[in-house]
Amino acid sequence: METVFPLRFYASASVASTAAPSSGNRLASIGLWLRRHRQRIALMQWGVALFYGALVVLPAVLPLPSGDAHLWDNLRLFAQFVFWGLWWPGVMLATVSLGRVWCGLFCPEGFLSELASRHGRGKAAPTWLKWRYWPFIAFVTTTIYGQLVSVYQYAEAALLILGGSTLVAVLVGFLYGHDKRVWCRYLCPASGVFAILAKIAPLHYKVDRAAWDHAGAEQPFNCPPLVDVRRMSSASDCHACARCAGQRDAVQLAPRSPFAEILRLDIPARATDAYTLIFGVMGIATAAFQWTVSPWFLNLKMTLATWLVEHESYRLLDTDAPWWLLTHYPEVNDAFTWLDGILVLTYLLGGGVLLGALLLIAPHIAARLMRHPGLDWKRFALTLTPMGAASVILGLTMTTATQLRGEHLLLLWLPHLRVALLGAGVIASLWLAFALIRQAEKVKPLRRGGAFFAMTLPVALMTGVWGLAFFVW
């Protein structure tokens, strides 16, 4: 049963409606509308889940597309384009601009996991399941495994990873929690990435702690991702589902500066977020997006393959791995050798960790120079969030561009879009670092200047990495 708002809230809303509503009031009204229409949202979620399921399952049972197939006349190619060319780039853009609305209003995994939890066993989540680094581990694992089985290219791999993830989400929901999203909070591979991107969203559910504490009797409501709404100050864990909108006249959908959360020193900067951003989003994910166009990878592969042939050692050049372990589609001349698998794994893990380690040096230097409470390496690392958002969106749209080029479309606008997106990430990250350092007025100017210079280095490094991929390689 849905929570009924107190009469005094409706009264204040009706009075406000007689005047021209401000943008903040209009946003608050949207949040209230979403809360009042949970049944409509549930119907929409069923529709998304069914569409998602059809795109995951049906293409995997169809034959591979022929050479003259197109996106509009082949379900496998259509599903591939929808998932990796439109869906996931759109989800990332939505999270950066609106917060975690995908999680709260659309995600089929979260919806089905919550539904299973509503009718499941309702057990308490065990301590091991609540380990903070599971989303980071899951993200790295699925990212690397997806590259090994070519998840962007083949429906069988998509069914294995996306379908398998959904089944596990439902199982976790059935076992743990009651009407909650335990999977989303503690285990979802994308949760850590969404938590980071939501930090710079210009919309959030604002909580007035004083109004909450001075309100009347407690009004029960359900927060599926298990957020302590009363103390909520970050958009990272909030799924933007609007179920708390208007709660105790203290919660409303509201605008904010996209820099506000990271610059607020009273909001803790978590190590899990910093590591996910630096090593996950900007490290391993970047390596995963770029290895197919890297001449370094190709040269290393050719060198090792030549050495193996010269020494008559052919085992690593075999292509007998099963498709669920390494890409194996000989009917279209696409099969990974064992050497391919080893090199992809090495490039993603080794290259991603190396890139992340280089990026992490500057936040540590900046924190040491500043020596200011609240300005630790984690806070400085989070100033790179806009750069990380630009990086993951650029990487995902590489697949979009490849698919559109396969249809012989001219993408003359693409380089300009990439430069604009990369430039936005650069400017926003540098501004965040500058604004953060500016708060420490008592720190000597030389130290502040050194800290800012240090934070320009990871921004320059990521700019160079993407510049190589787009304009040199």
Q: pLDDT tens digits for 178-224?
A: 999 999 999 999 999 999 999 999 999 999 999 998 887 667 889 99
Closest by CA position to 388, among listed 242, 162, 233, 199: 199
Count the Cβ atoms, other than its own, within 10 Å of residue 7: 8
Q: How many domains does the chain have?
A: 2
Residues 340 and 421 reside in one and the same domain: yes
d(CA 111, CA 241): 11
d(CA 243, CA 247): 8
d(CA 277, CA 285): 10
- In tens, the pLDDT along 317-367 reads 999 999 999 999 999 999 999 999 999 999 999 999 999 999 999 999 999
In a domain? residue 465 = yes
Residue 1 clears pLDDT 90, i.e. is over it: no
In a domain? residue 18 = no
Residues 276 and 172 reside in one and the same domain: no
pLDDT at 373: 87
Residues 150 and 278 reside in one and the same domain: no
In a domain? residue 4 = no
In a domain? residue 286 = yes
Residue 22 clears pLDDT 70, i.e. is over it: no
In a domain? residue 136 = yes
Containing H/E element for 106? none
| Token pair in block for residue 11 | 């009264």
Of 164, 198, 232, which closes a domain?
Answer: 198
Average the pLDDT over 58-64 and give the result: 94
Of 154, 169, 198, which closes a domain?
Answer: 198
Range of the structural domain that residue 402 is part of: 271-310+325-472
Residues 177 and 281 reside in one and the same domain: no
Give Cα 29 to chain centroid, integer Å.
27
Q: Within 216-284, where are the H helices?
A: 260-263, 271-275
d(CA 115, CA 109): 10
Residues 41 and 186 reside in one and the same domain: yes
d(CA 197, CA 94): 10
Whether pTM exceeds 0.75: yes
d(CA 110, CA 116): 10
pLDDT at 25: 87
- In tens, the pLDDT along 433-470 reads 999 999 998 999 999 999 999 999 999 999 999 999 99
In a domain? residue 252 = no
Average the pLDDT over 130-138 and give the result: 96
d(CA 233, CA 215): 19
Task: Tell me which of 20-24, 64-68, 287-291, 298-302 is least confident.
Answer: 20-24
- In tens, the pLDDT along 365-389 reads 999 999 998 899 999 999 999 999 9
pLDDT at 219: 75
Average the pLDDT over 60-68 and give the result: 90
pLDDT at 4: 38
- In tens, the pLDDT along 218-271 reads 678 899 999 999 999 999 999 999 999 999 999 999 999 999 999 999 999 999
| Beta bridge partner(s), residue 207 | 251
pLDDT at 273: 97
In a domain? residue 9 = no
Beta strand 203-207 with 251-255: parallel, antiparallel or unpaired?
antiparallel
Average the pLDDT over 60-66 and give the result: 92
Apex CA 69: angle with CA 64 and CA 70, to 5°? 120
Count the Cβ atoms, other than its own, within 10 Å of residue 218: 9
Task: Tell me the residue ranges of DSSP E strands in 222-373.
Answer: 251-255, 328-329, 334-335
Find where tokens 């990796």 sit: 84
Residues 275 and 155 reside in one and the same domain: no
Percent residues over pLDDT 90 in the chain: 88
In a domain? residue 364 = yes
Average the pLDDT over 390-412 and give the result: 92
- In tens, the pLDDT along 68-123 reads 899 999 999 999 999 999 999 999 999 999 999 999 999 999 999 999 999 999 99
Closest by CA position to 205, among listed 254, 256, 266: 254
d(CA 85, CA 78): 10
Q: How many helices (DSSP H) and strands (DSSP E) are in the chain?
A: 23, 4
Average the pLDDT over 297-312 and give the result: 95
On the CB side of 424, how many CA atoms lie within 13 Å of its CA?
15
pLDDT at 23: 57
Of 163, 198, 233, which closes a domain?
Answer: 198
